[in-house]
Each structure stands twice: as C-alpha cells, then as structure tokens.
Structure 1
C-alpha cells in the first residue's frame, strides 16, 4: 500500500499546522488580541526550525497516543469559542432534554470547519511523531498531560465524584418547600425573559444599548447584584432557577437510563406555575423558539401552564410565515402574539392570569434584531451585539407602553429579567473584565421605585416574585432563595459567597435527587433519617443560618 506521507515531505506544512493550532487555542482560551495568533505561530516555527524538528533520519510508522486527547482538547476549544464559558451542566442537560429544532445552524458550519482543522492537526502531529524520534520519546507524556489538563475531563471527574460524596446534601438541607396562601384580588403576572440581556450592559462603555431598560426601571424596583451561580447559566437553567428557586442539576449519572430522553423536567420540586395554578391562575408561555428544544415545553406543561406556544404553534399564524430566523420568531412578532394572548386572558375574566415570555433578539453570538428595530436603528452589520441589545430593550419598553395604553396592566406585577449572562459576543473581551450581573426589575401598583443592591442569584427571583405578588413565603424563603424585598433575611450569597456556593454545587447530589424525584433512585435511608430531626451543620458559622426541615 503506498504511503500517503513520505519521509521526504518538507516539515514546513505540518509544523505550521501544529503551530497555528496551538496559537489559535491560546487566543480562544485567553483574552489575548487576535494578532498574537501570528506571533505565537512565528515563535513556534522559529523554535521548530532551530531545533530541526521533523528532519530526523529515523522514521517509524507509529500511531501517537495523543490523538484522542487532542480530539478532546479540540472539542473543548470549539465549545469555548462558541460559548465563551464551557458549562458541562448545560452539555449534560441538553444531551438528555434534546436539541430538536435548535437554531445553531451557524455553529454547525463552524463545527464542520473545526472538524476539518482537527483532521489536519491529527495528520500533522502523526507526521511529526513518525519523523522525529525525539518527539516519539516524549509523546506518551504529552498524551497524559493533555488528558490531565483538559477542563472537560476534570469537570466530568468532579461530577462523577459527587455521586459518592460523603455529604452531598449541604444545599438540600437549606431548601425550603414553597408554600403560599390565597388572597383577595390577586394580581396578574407578566414575566418577560430577555435572552442574554444582562444588566452589565448598563455601562457607559456600551453606549445607549441598555437605555430603554434603564428608563423602564425608573418606574419600578431595580435589583443590582443578581449573580450567576453554577447550573443557572443557560436558558432552561435560568428559568428554572428563577421559577423554582434551585439551580438546574441534570439528571445524568443518577440512574442507568441517564441519557434517555426526558419525559418530565424537575418533577420533584414545586415551581411558580404549580403554586399559581393552584390559586386559580390561567397560565400561558410564549417563546419564539421551539418548545421542543431543551425541554421547555415539558417544563411548562408539567408545572401548571395551560397554554404553551412556540415556533410550531405561532409560525402558522404569522402574516408572513417566512419571517423567522434560525431560532424562531423575531421579537416584534412574538410581542404581537403576547399582546393578543393577554387581551384574550383579560377578556375572559375568569380569575387572574400569568404570562411568561422568552425573547430571542439578544441571543449570542450576534443576536436577531427584528425588522421594526432595523427600521428604527438603521442598517445592522450582522455582528454588533449592542445593536441587538438596544433592539431587545426598545421592544420590551414598547410592549409595556402598548399594554399600558390598552389598560391591560392594571393590577399586574411586571417582572423583567435576563435568563442568564450572555455567552461569547462581539463585546466579550470587555464583558469578562467587568463585575457582571443579571437584569431583574419589578413594576406594579404597589411597587414604588427603588434601586436595591444585594448579593443574590437567580434562585432569589422566585421568592421575590411571590412576595411582590402578595404571596409572602414563610420566612421570606422559597427553594434556596430569599425575597430580595426583605432586607432582614440574608441570601445564600450574602451568607456564604459565590465561590463557596459554586463549590457546594459541585459536591451536591441530594438536591439533584430531589429535582428528579421519580426518575432517580430514592434518597439514601441515612439522608432521610437525618432530615427527620435536627440538621447537622458543617461549621459553627453555619448554625445561625441553618433551617430545620422535616419531610
């Protein structure tokens, strides 16, 4: 069989491919400017040629041990380039919840390009190992180093270790079952999730991109300091954290069927929809993307929502069914349907209503500005995320003005929140140097304007919503959250800090079992026995904050 790569091949090309791959990975994983790619590649080539790599007379037909570790590093670099921060929790959850009707066609093209580059790298590295005995000697050590240093391998190891942690119930012991009581003349609820529109954009370096949201906040309560803890950094995780009071820990590794499609989403906890439906609320969810993606439809149907509308339900109703983007409906169309849904619910007069809405304009990496925004803001370059942020903010303000003019927001609590911090976008290098937090604001007849600065997280939005609606939860707590309207009760982050909570999340498995009760094995008898009596705290500093919970 003829050899495709001969010993006489010049080392220039394979060394260039390896050097370019190394330098590209460095620029993706750090905040170094793009031009350092050429600097690092040049340094690599100079050193390679100086040491005469690939010119050894010794040739051996061998397969490197490093091929698989290189592929795993390539996967990690691809994920980091796509999302900025690689969240293994999101990877596991989407594998199980499903990625049907996803809108990442642009990233699919990038995946093909990455695959071609990885094949080139594997061929180049194999050529080098076969043509240089010095590299053959150290190559097994390189393979080990690539495995040990890969964050994917490290993260999977941490999650696997959590299954056998001696005490994996620290967070579960702080979970408070949400309970509310009926009230007279309950308010309606409009909850707007603005995709990836974090409050960090309210900064002079981003111009007026956030200005319309700032204007909305002048009429209500604006919360600063709503951080992103682990397992709340993607859309479903952000919505579940803010409606159920708990981070979304995937069901994987809990049972032998961990990668079968989910039939239900977090069935073990009571969420906002469960509580409000029991109080007679008529609940609707509207989102521009498909409800099949990431289990959104399952979650809302399982937790008390009567109507769940996504791409498949709404696209046929468009005047122009082709006016859609990769993910789904543009926000101007979505808000038109939202107004019609609120008009319908309000006209029925069969009790209070609740509407949850998820936009798409701010979706990374570039956003999807609607036609109404282009007519208002002028031509879009297809890359500038600040253009899309401004579009999302203006459309939200316009929606509230339309509803107010029609008298549809009387006796209504309006909540505006980002679902999570944005992923890699055109201003990523600026964002990652800042103290980032999520958007969260409340408007209503009994909510006087005020700026509230608290160290909080998305789980605190859940009890805050209940409190704002007049359903004050016991001790201002629900799930793992604390009402941010209660200045006396400290949040988890105020008591323990962001780093400590994230560390606890990596060790937790009892709360994970609670979320997926019925899909996962029952809690260990020891855990059940411990929960029947007084809880054991880890340190004396925890004692004052420990909550006694019985099942």
Structure 2
C-alpha cells in the first residue's frame, strides 16, 4: 500500500497538470461569444473524465518507459486539441467550425506567423504539459493485472462520460456519426428545384459568345469592416470619409452574410464566383475545392473580364498562400497576384511590417502607383486590393494614421485609419485621366469576427456588409437584400460589360425584380454544396489521363470516370433518350480537360455547338445528326459516334457503336488524336460554319418585316420546346420579344431541320432569315439585365438580292 507521503507528490502533480490543461478551457470561455457557464462546467468535467480514463490506461502498463510514452502521447493529443480550440476562440469567438478547419493546413499555418508571442506561448504550454505528465507517471501506482470485463467497466463508463460531457467533442462526434449513418442520398442535379432555391442552372456551363469590355474596375476588399462601423449613433466620427462616400455613391443597403462566406477567402470566392464556399467535411471536402483551383469549372468575374481583354492585378498585404488566396485568383484570370512576399521588396523600409504583412498605408501607396501603371497599358484593367489593418482581434493601425479621438481602442483606431487611407487613395487616383472610365467598389470581405471592439457593439444590432459603388452614373441606394453572391453580376452591370455568363447563386442587384429566396435554407445550402463539389469543381488531368474515356453502364454515362448528369431545365432526362432524341456535348479546355458536360436536343445540336465555338469538344450523337461536313463518318446513319473536334478545325471520330450502351472508348491513341485536333487551324469567327448551318436547298421560313424591321421566327427552339416568336425592332440593331407562342413538336429527331432558329444561353441563332429578297444568318445576344431584349451580334449575308 502507498502511504499518503508517497502519493502526495502524485496528487500535487495531477492537480498541477489538470490546472495547466484547464487554463486553455478557461481562456476559451473568456473569448467565447456564445457559450455560457454550462459550457464551461461541462468542458472542465470532460477534462476530469479524460484524465481519469488516461490514468486508468497508463496504470495498466508495466514498464515505466512505455507508461511514460503512452501518457505523454495522450496528454500531448489532449493539450494540442485544447490549444487549437483556444486559438479558434481567440480569433473568431467560436469553437471548431468550418472556417477554422478550412485554415488547418500547412500552407495557411506556414503563412500565418502573425502572432509570434502566441506561437511561443503555445510551445511553452505543450512543453509544460509533457513535462508534468512525464513526472506524474513516475509516481503513478500500477494497477493490478486483471482481464475480467468488470475491471474495464469504470474505463468504459468514464470514456462515455467524456464523450457526453465534453461539449465540443460531443458535437463533433455527433456530426461525424450523422455523416457516417446518413441514409438519405446526396442532392442530385436531376432533383434540384432551381427556381424555388433561387439557383441558376446556366452557371454549370461556360457562357457562350464574346464578351465586350466596359469600364476599369478598382475593387477594394475591406478586412472585417462592416456597416456597423459607419453608424454615427454607435461610433460617431469613426468613418467620416466612408460616410460621405455613401452619400455620393451607390449604396447597397441590405447586404447579408450567409454560410460559406464568413471568412476572407470564402467572401472573396463568393463575391467573385457567385457561389458560397460550401464543401463537405468528410473525405475530400475542402481539399477537393482547393485542389480543383477553387471551383475551377465555375465562370467567375475575373474569368469574364479576362475574356474581355482586361489586365488584372491583385495586391494584398498578407501572404497569398494563407487560405489559398493565390490559388483562387491565379486560377481565375488574374495576371499578377502580389502578396506580402512580392510587395516587401518594393517598400522603402522593408522592416515596416506587422505580424500579418504590409500595413495599409504601404499597400495603398503601392496600389496608387500600380493604378497609374495599369492606366498606361491602353487596355481595360481590374485592380483588386485587400486591406489588412482592421484584422481581428486587435487590429494593426498604420503609423501614418490619425487615432480615433472618441475611444481608445485598437480596432477602432484601425477602422478610423482605413477610412482615412481609402479616402487618400481615392483622392490620388481621381486626379488621373483614367478615373473617368473607372468604377470603384468597396466591399466587406466578411462581418467582423471576435475583436477588442465587440464589447462596444450595440445589443441586437442588425449587422450587414458594406457594399458601395463609386464613380457610376447611379446614386442613392438599393434597398433589395443581397449577399456576397450578388456582387459579381452587379459589378459587371456597373462596368457595362456585355456578357452572357450566369452565376449559380447570385443575381444583379440592379435588376428591378429580385427573386424571393431564403438564402439560409438548408435545402439551398445542400444543393449548392453538391453543385460546388460535383459540377463546379473538377479533378485535375485531361481526358487522356484516364483508361476509360467514355462508357455507358447501369443507366449512367461516364466521361473520364465522372458521371454525367442527364437533365434539361432542371428536369431529369430518361437514359433511353440519349442517342435517340438527345445527344451529349462535353467541352474541353486547351489541355484536354473536360470543363462541363450537358445534354442537347438533337435538332439543336448544330446550333449548340456554334454557341460554344471557342471550345474544343467531344460530341456523342447518332451519325445522321452531326452537322460536320468534313468528317469522314465511315459509319451508318443510325450508329452512335463520338467525335473530338473544334469548329472550323479538325473533327476526328473517337469511336462508334450500334447503340449507346455498346459505345466504350479507351484512351488508346488518345493523346495523338487530341494533339492533332488541338493544333489544327481554325476559322476564328466560324463564319463558314454559320453560313452552312442551314442547307442551301431548304427554304427560309423566317422573315424581316420590311415596314417595321421586326423579326418573325416561325420556329424557334429552346431546349426541348418549339415556339413562334416576333421580335420588334426597338432601335439600331436592338430587338425585343413582343409575341411568343408555343408550337407542337413537328421536327422529327431523325430529320433535323437546322434552318430553325434557336435560343440558349443568352443567344438567338437564326441560320437563315429573308429580307428584301436575300438571305442572311444572324446571331442576337441578350442584353445583360434584360430578359427579352437583344442586340445584333453577327450578321452574315448568304445570298444577294
């Protein structure tokens, strides 16, 4: 038996170890924004159960060195978990959540050396826990060896109590169990109610047609700077310059933050790409999004500007590796991405830095120089900035800034500083001639997280994002509620960029009729997460990297091992329709990677391929339905063929079969065929294809009214429907739909009439229309923000009068 004198050191060491491990629990409670005393008591009780459970296990090990190793392993894991939770509470006022787990990767950790004292304290804490554990084990009496199950019942009970009592461990365990035991299938493309959820299916395919540039863009993400700080009742005189700008610019007055937009990279992704950064927390999860280049199959605002010829530069004071900002921006059209490491050599004093990187006064000085440089390029540009001084929890006000006189608070000083620096930057660039053609957008990257100013926030305040557009003809404010996802389409309208792109979860707030959608609905968030991972993010690698290019099995189509959703207008298509009434188009990029796949009615196959005239493709359809004149089919008309090609260039048969189920394509010789097609010369504007879209011996049934200039289209196809349409001539090369009537389906799939007009993805293609005795082909482009108005994009005369 151990005497009290012998076990007294053990009691003291256990108490010391428990006290040290309890310290981060108490600190977490101190920084918590939502948890009460019950959370604290449960967390401390859970820690007691853990130590009891660990002591029971260690006491059963005979050799001292093995006991010490096991004890240090258990204590180290517990200490690390408690420390990580404390860091989560310290930065965001909450325990483990999506945004914390998102940043838990080597790139972010390596780039986040912002708080060296915190990192040093963490090392000391871990060292202390291990040393106390090492000493404690030496005084721990061994437990008698007994294999009876009754001897293990205290261990099992203690373990269960630990899982039940420890609040965050219980929450994570319950979430993981729900994930593993979930029986409901994940949302599928075929059963998404697009209209009810306020989602745009057109965002799943690359936008067709050209993009016309508009004004220059200066987009400034304001770190954690929300509308609250501009409230004169809450913080008088804190942001005098922003308040004045809000009176003279276009203010979006009801901007909400939703799930998947509540940290910097998520807010940037959502505002640029029109979809929140939602992903699964199971296997893959955020790693799939990161490895996929942040929604690499989505069309984002900088992608559209890139197509319009914009030169795009990002500048931010922090390292671009943190949170994957550099990956997001470089994968979506930015020409230069400059962060801490790229900007430090440009500083007059490279030592003038805070823990995260450059101060905002340095950033804005360099940005003003960059604006002047970009203005000399004789092309439109996008300069995107991300401030840093207002970063939680304490802020880092620049040395050149005045302090906020009303309250001595470091975050408020930083907000006051950013207000001053933004005004100084705008004053400088407004003196440049390029200012006349530049739109400036100020946007909160997200709402403020836990910071030292939050005790000063008014109770129950309706917190909103700041979204302000300057130097536009539009003034006043927009009262319609919006989210990060609405920023990209709204900015494109403000820039007057002509495009046909769609955004999954966002709409232009300049449109008069906004959809009424519950942006917090779980069904909507689930659908977006599914679409982000399965349709807007694609695995790296080209079609030739997989052994099987295409297969049809078990009523599923697979291209490069990826299932192709069979649907149209959000409604499922029967598998049997593929190859009979519908065909399949897979769009490729220049590296041979499939960027999107979609079904198309066979009567519209030729038109749809013209809409994606800038993309290499694989088309799978009956041989009789293919529009190519140059392909040596070597196939019966009723056989299913797969063709790889480019419009105006080469088209080569990959394979053929009597039916779709028999069509299996391997990658044998794939790279050689792909290289040949990609290197083939193309007709840059595909005028020859458009001219031959309608057979010469087929009479044109579309006409132009000689008196009014109205277009009468006797058969216009849209997806699976046929319509008779009249477009009134409302101005030079402008048209508006004034009459529309549904028609019976009188075009047989096996006898396609390619002379009919077609509408899809913002374009009306009219292969043949008669005016004053001569035929022409026309392409109309939908005017952004107007659902029934179009402008003339292309006119090609087929005959002379």
CA distance in 2, matches of 1:117, 1:221: 56
Q: 1:257 to 1:306 in 2, by over 3 A?
A: closer
Mapped partners of 1:242, 1:163: distance in 2: 34
Which residue is equivalent to 1:229?
258
Gaps of 5+ in 2: 61-69, 143-150, 551-555, 573-718, 721-759, 762-801
Give the 3 Å change call, closer, same or farther, for CA 506–412 of structure 1 in structure 2: same
1:544 maps to: none
What TM-score do you get using the length of structure 2 for normalisation?
0.55
Q: How far off its partner does 1:92 sit?
A: 3.1
**Higher strand fraction: Structure 1 or Structure 2?**
2
User: For 1:289-348, what per-residue CA distance to the aligned partner results, in whole angstroms no more than 9, with x for missing partners?
Assistant: 122333222222222222222222221111111111211111111111111111111123
Note if 1:437 corresponds to 2:464.
Answer: yes
> 1-side partners of 2:411 and 2:298: how far apart?
36
- Greater shift, 186-195 or 428-437, is seen at 428-437
How far has the Cα of 1:108 moved from its partner?
A: 2.0
Partner of 2:513: 488
Q: Which residue of 1 aligns with 2:438?
A: 412
209, 219, 244: which one pairs with 2:248?
219
Structure 1 residue 143: Cα displacement = 1.9
- Cα distance, 1:109–1:161 mapped onto 2, change above 3 Å: farther
Q: CA deviation at 1:15?
A: 7.0
Deviations 1:199-255 (A, max 9, x none): 122232233323322221111111133222122122111111101111123587565
Equivalent residue for 1:317, pick from 346, 357, 375: 346
**1:461 maps to which residue?**
487
**1:397 maps to what in 2?**
423
1:249 counterpart residue number: 278
**Deviation larger for 193-202 or 402-411:** 402-411
| Structure 2 Cα separation of the partners of residues 180 and 415 of structure 1 | 27
Larger Rg: 2
Whether the 8 Å CA contact 1:222–1:452 is kept in 2: the answer is yes
SS of equivalent residue, structure 1 residue 410 = helix
Taking a change above 3 Å as real, the CA distance of residues 26 and 285 of structure 1, as seen in their structure-2 partners, is closer
The structure in which a higher percent of residues are helix is 1
1:111 is aligned, of 106, 119, 122, to 122
Task: Check 1:480–1:70 CA distance in 2 against 1; reply closer, same or farther (3 A cut).
Answer: same
TM-score normalised to the size of structure 1? 0.77
Give the Å deviation of 1:399.
Answer: 0.8
Matched, 1:283 2:312: yes
Q: Which residue matches 1:202?
A: 230
Equivalent residue, structure 2, for 1:8 = 8
User: Closer, same or farther in 2 for the Cα pair 1:466/1:508, shift >3 Å?
Assistant: same
Verify the 8 A CA contact 1:197 1:439 in the aligned structure 2: yes
Relative contact order, higher structure (CA 8 A, sep 6+): 1
State the 1:425 CA deviation.
0.4
Q: 1:320 to 1:193 in 2, by over 3 A?
A: same
Which residue is 2:473 aligned to? 446
* Contact 1:148/1:154 (<8 A) preserved: no
User: Is the 1:162–1:506 Cα contact (8 Å) retained in structure 2?
Assistant: no
The residue number in structure 2 matching 1:515 is: 536
Partner of 2:105: 95
Rounded Cα–Cα distance in structure 2 between residues aligned with 1:172 and 1:311: 44
| Closer/same/farther in 2, CA of residues 159 and 92 from structure 1, 3 Å limit | farther
Which of residues 380, 398, 402 in structure 2 aligns to 1:370? Answer: 398
User: Separation in 2 of the partners of 1:98 and 1:242?
Assistant: 21
Match of 1:531 in 2: 567
User: Deviation digits for residues 29-54 of structure 1, max 9, x if unmatched?
Assistant: 35589xx89xx89xx99xx9xxxxx9
The alpha carbon displacement at 1:388 in A equals 0.6
Q: Cα 1:369–1:502, aligned 2, differ >3 Å: closer, same or farther?
A: farther
Secondary structure at the aligned position of 1:454 is classed as coil
Counterpart CA distance in 1 for 2:130 and 2:192 is: 44
Decide whether aligned partners of structure 1 residues 530 and 283 sit closer, same or farther in structure 2, where only a CA change above 3 A counts.
same
- Cα distance in 2, alignment partners of residues 232 and 249 from structure 1: 9
Unaligned runs of at least 5 residues, structure 1: 49-53, 537-547
